[in-house]
Amino acid sequence: MTPSRRKFIKGIGAASVLMATESFAKPFNIIKSLKISPNDKIRIATIGLGIQGNSDTKAALRNPEAEFVAAADLYDGRLVRGKEVYNKDLFTTRDFREILNRKDIDAVIIATPDHWHDHISIAALNAGKAVYCEKPMVQHIDEGRKVIETWQKTGKTMQVGSQPISGAAYGEAQRLLQSGEIGELNFIEATYDRFSALGAWTYSIPPDASAQTIDWDRFLGDAPKRPFDATRFFRWRNYRDYGTGVAGDLFVHLITGMHYATGAIGPNRIFSSGELSYWKDGRDVPDVMVTVLDYPETEKHKKFQAVLRVNFANAGAIKNVTRVVGTEGEIQWSAQGLTLTKRKLPKAPGYGNGESFPTFAEATQKEFLKEYDAKYAESDRKAEPVKEVKFDTPQGDDAHAKHFKNFFDNMRANSQKTIEDPIFGFRAAAPALACNMSYFDNKIVYWDPIEMKLKKK
């Protein structure tokens, strides 16, 4: 941080929460207009210091320019843990608004359950913060527009947190696809199967969980009121009131990766099937889901279909890759790397056993061969040999830290062009949420990916 900025910030210190008083109003305005210079630290706070809040905070801090100054969470144990892990003087609170009121904080990480994403993103942008919000960007499709409008109105930097796309394999997939290496794209399949209790979200519940150690009313937020329930608090993904099921949790990563690599902006037709097959622990979301998404032709690609699957009870072999197939090859990728396989059909169709040629009369066969030889040169008859190109993700490639670096670079440049801005984030979240609509309402969902609106048909 530059000395002048440090002095300003020190000068107002903890009193910044008391924004309402006239005497404090001026310094806040001056601070608000200060830009982050290249030498300044970027001061971050995390709202929701659970599993991903910690993972995000650590990834942000792997960029030496970040400084972690405050955290909000609703379970006291996580705030205590924040002081243990990061800094005993970390500012902690149950009330995220205290963080938004602090003018010395440049950016917030929002890693709460999904039903809080839109509310806190909008409040944070309006409070002048840059926002790193976890995926899925919103819990319901009708919440997306307001987040985008607030981002546009405030001009602040925002990044949505599907960090795998910042990994080297995704960049390489994008480069290969966009240079036409697999011909015309016609099909994508991607899976995110798991076979473990923790993989199926049955997370640990701490023995001190109670209505005293947890701010249950705030957790509920806009969800239906109900009595304190530690299982719902710590395993919120299992309930539609707070989470978005396997589609919002995992399909969204697959869709984000597909969109990033292919340049697609979204499907126009979505149909899901699934069931609650194994994890019958009171959850109200399926543990097996398969969805077909139809992507219309755009400038970037031909029409194609994508099939996505999550199976949380897959006791068979699990090989989670995204496989993008075209008319001249395919690319399969995961975080570890990718394989490009190229194959091209010869111009000549061939003739012989297993088709109609041998059934022709001898004279007709001779006539056929004469015509065939005249039509196809020797070179038209050979398929190109299969070529395989492998790309291994380099050791130490840190997609998560890079996702934050991209966020910080854009903040410094006063730019909104993050790798996963809210328009990109919503174009991935909305089809994932539409997968749930299709499953629960047992219908085909129609979506306009350009206008980002649900359609009748």
Among 181, 249, 287, 330, binds ligand NAD (CB under 6 A): 249
Q: Smallest distance from the beta carbon of 154 to ligand NAD, in angstroms?
A: 20
Contact between 422 and ligand NAD per CB under 6 A: no
Site map (CB under 6 A) of ligand NAD, residues 164-203, x = contact: ----------------------------------------
Q: Which of residues 129-168 bind ligand NAD (CB under 6 A)?
A: 134-135, 161-163
| Site for ligand NAD contains 108 (CB under 6 A) | no
Residue 334 binds ligand NAD (CB under 6 A) = no
- The CB-of-100 to ligand NAD minimum distance in angstroms stands at 11
* List 16, 57, 112, 256, residue binding ligand NAD (CB under 6 A): 112
Report the residue from 36, 42, 45, 47 that binds ligand NAD according to the rule CB under 6 A.
Answer: 47
Q: Which of 70, 74, 131, 401 binds ligand NAD (CB under 6 A)?
A: 74
What does the block give as tokens for 398? Answer: 């840190």
d(C-alpha 115, C-alpha 387), whole Å: 47
H-helix segments, 179-215: none
Q: How many CB atoms lie within 10 A of CB 174?
A: 16
State the Cα–Cα distance between residues 441 and 215, nearest whole angstrom: 33
Q: How far is the CB of 75 from ligand NAD (least distance, A)?
A: 5
Q: Residues 5, 43, 78, 103: which binds ligand NAD (CB under 6 A)? A: 78
The residue among 51 and 383 lying less far from ligand NAD, judged by its C-beta, is 51
Q: Is 118 in the site for ligand NAD (CB under 6 A)?
A: no
402 contacts: CB under 8 Å, gap ≥ 6:
163, 166, 167
Q: Is 247 exposed, middle or buried (0-12, 13-18, 19+ CB in 10 A)?
A: buried
Peptide bond into 227 cis (omega under 30): no
DSSP string, 246-294: HIIIIIHHHHHHHHHHH-----SEEEEEEE--S--SS--S-SEEEEEEE
Residue 271 to residue 444: CA distance in whole angstroms: 5
CA distances from 363 to 357, 358, 366, 368, 369 (A): 12, 12, 5, 9, 10
Tokens of 62: 């792997």
What is the per-residue binding string for ligand NAD in 83-102, x denoting contact by CB under 6 A? -------------x------
71 is a contact residue toward ligand NAD (CB under 6 A): no
If one counts every other C-beta atom within 10 angstroms of the C-beta of residue 387, the result is: 12
| One-letter identity of residue 82 | G
Q: Cβ of residue 205: shortest distance to ligand NAD, in angstroms?
A: 11
CB of 117 to ligand NAD, least distance (A): 6
Cβ of residue 52: shortest distance to ligand NAD, in angstroms? 3
DSSP three-state, residue 30: helix
Stretch near ligand NAD under the rule CB under 6 A, chosen from 107-115, 289-297, 375-383, 446-454: 107-115
The verdict on 333 binding ligand NAD (CB under 6 A) reads no
The two three-digit tokens of residue 257, written as one number: 């990766």
Shortest CA distance to 247 belongs to which of 233, 231, 267, 223? Answer: 267
Side-chain-side CA neighbours of 452 within 13 Å: the count stands at: 20
> Does residue 53 belong to the site contacting ligand NAD (CB under 6 A)?
yes
Tokens encoding 275: 């069931």
Which is nearer to ligand NAD, 75 or 271 (by Cβ)?
75
Rank residues 133 and 173 by Cβ distance to ligand NAD and give the closer one: 133
**Site size for ligand NAD (CB under 6 A):** 27
404 binds ligand NAD (CB under 6 A): no
* Assigned token pair, 238: 């299992």
Where along the sequence are the contacts to ligand NAD (CB under 6 A)?
47-53, 72-75, 78, 96, 111-114, 116, 134-135, 161-163, 218-219, 236, 249
